[in-house]
Structure 1
Amino acid sequence: MSVDPSAIPNFGGQPDKQGQPQQARKPTGPIMPNPDLVKQLLERMKLKYVEDKEGDVVAPWKHFRVYFMFRGEERQRVLTVRTFYDRPHTIEDKPRLLQNIDEWNHSTLWPKVYTHTGDDGTVRLIGDFQLLLGAGVGFDHFVASVVSWVRAAGEFDKWLVERFGLDKDEPDAADGPDAAGPAEPEAHEEPGGDD
């Protein structure tokens, strides 16, 4: 998955009187990201998204969904970017999954991936990133982080496919958002941590 740097949002660059775009004026101080800013960034990246019932922004791919979730109040506000990898694994696969995701977690910055075992014994993988928003963050830092996180979510999926020999006959899941995209994203659980 690649993101063209020219696709990075131009926030604040309004057309002049002749309809020509003006040079964008980036914010000079900290910004307070919100779901609308995330939607604008995803649109600039040409990624499809939906909003779920909880108000979270969701970018769906064929085998995973990336959620942008704002939680907390004022100076404790956090943006969690959580990726739910949809491929089911068996409980028998879990030791091998744990060994591989330990390797991933030791050798990469993000996403930090862990397992979640459902009541039916199905094991799924979840990736997490967090950004403490506090009194605000730098505009360039926020944009670069979101672009990197989205790219890394796809890179993990691609890495997992190669590691486990999954979906050899299907197109690469990390190439871009699901063409159709779900009309309504599946409900997501917020597990408390590693299983």
Structure 2
Amino acid sequence: MSDGSLPRWVTRVLGGFGKPEKHAPPRDQEVPTPLSRDRIEGYLRSRGYRYLVDDDGDLTGTWDGSRFWFLLLGEHDEILQVRGRWHRSLALEQRRSVALAVNDWNRERIWPKVYVREEDGLLALYSEVSADLEQGVTDIQLAQLLACGLGTGVQMFTAIEAVLPGEEAPPGIPDN
């Protein structure tokens, strides 16, 4: 039946060809290794980023005025989360407009997840990129996840700033 008159896929479906061979990965391919705070710190150092370890033992730093944390979550610290908090706080009366802007962002984009939380009588805006790395992560994958968490978080905060220009926190309450 494989006389060449039928397409290869038809011939294979009808039993004329065997399954394609699976090739072994190249020997120089990086093997995923467990996620660790040291590996995250190594990435941050390699990029020349300034960061510190907070009282909870989490890595944190400021990018474009907004605070970001690099968290290890899960039973075995296998979940990486890059969480950002916008440098501005907003009045509770702005909840509707902020919710609409956040909903638009989340509907049109995969990263970061964005949400609003009430803190001390004001609204705080957060971004999150999370990944379950139970099976390990290569250095390249880790770098991509960290860059994604930071880059998309900063991008989202900039976009929100354009939607809510000049609306500052109530007088007497400093922005965080």
Question: Contact 1:112 / 1:127 at 8 angstroms: preserved in 2?
Answer: yes
Identity %: 21
Question: Contact 1:57 / 1:67 at 8 angstroms: preserved in 2?
Answer: yes
Q: Does 1:87 align with 2:116?
A: no
Q: How many pairs are equivalent?
A: 141
TM-aligned CA distance change 1:61 to 1:147, over 3 Å: closer
Give how far 1:62 is off: 5.1
TM-aligned CA distance change 1:50 to 1:27, over 3 Å: farther
Structure 1 ranges of 4+ moved more than 3 A: none
Paired letter, 2:98: L
Q: Higher strand share goes to which structure?
A: 2
Q: Does 1:115 align with 2:116?
A: yes
Give how far 1:33 is off: 2.1
Question: Contact 2:80 / 2:130 at 8 angstroms: preserved in 1?
Answer: yes
Q: Which runs of 5 or more residues in structure 1 are unaligned? A: 1-25, 168-185, 187-195
Q: CA RMSD in A?
A: 2.0
TM-score normalised by structure 2 residue count: 0.73
Question: Contact 1:70 / 1:80 at 8 angstroms: preserved in 2?
Answer: yes
Q: Quote the residue 2:138 is aligned against.
A: 138
Q: Which runs of 5 or more residues in structure 2 are unaligned? A: 1-27, 168-175
State the alpha-carbon separation in 2 of the partners of residues 28 and 62 from structure 1: 33
Q: Quote the residue 2:78 is aligned against.
A: 77
State the alpha-carbon separation in 1 of the partners of residues 137 and 164 from structure 2: 38
Superposition map of 1:22-61 within 5 A: 28-61=30-63
Cα displacement string for residues 77-105 of structure 1 (whole angstroms, at most 9, x for unaligned residues): 21111111131101110000000010011
State the alpha-carbon separation in 1 of the partners of residues 30 and 122 from structure 2: 48
Q: Quote the residue 1:160 is aligned against.
A: 160
Question: Contact 2:67 / 2:85 at 8 angstroms: preserved in 1?
Answer: yes
State the alpha-carbon separation in 2 of the partners of residues 132 and 58 from structure 1: 20
Q: Quote the residue 1:178 is aligned against.
A: none
State the alpha-carbon separation in 2 of the partners of residues 81 and 87 from structure 1: 19
* Structure with max Cα Rg: 2
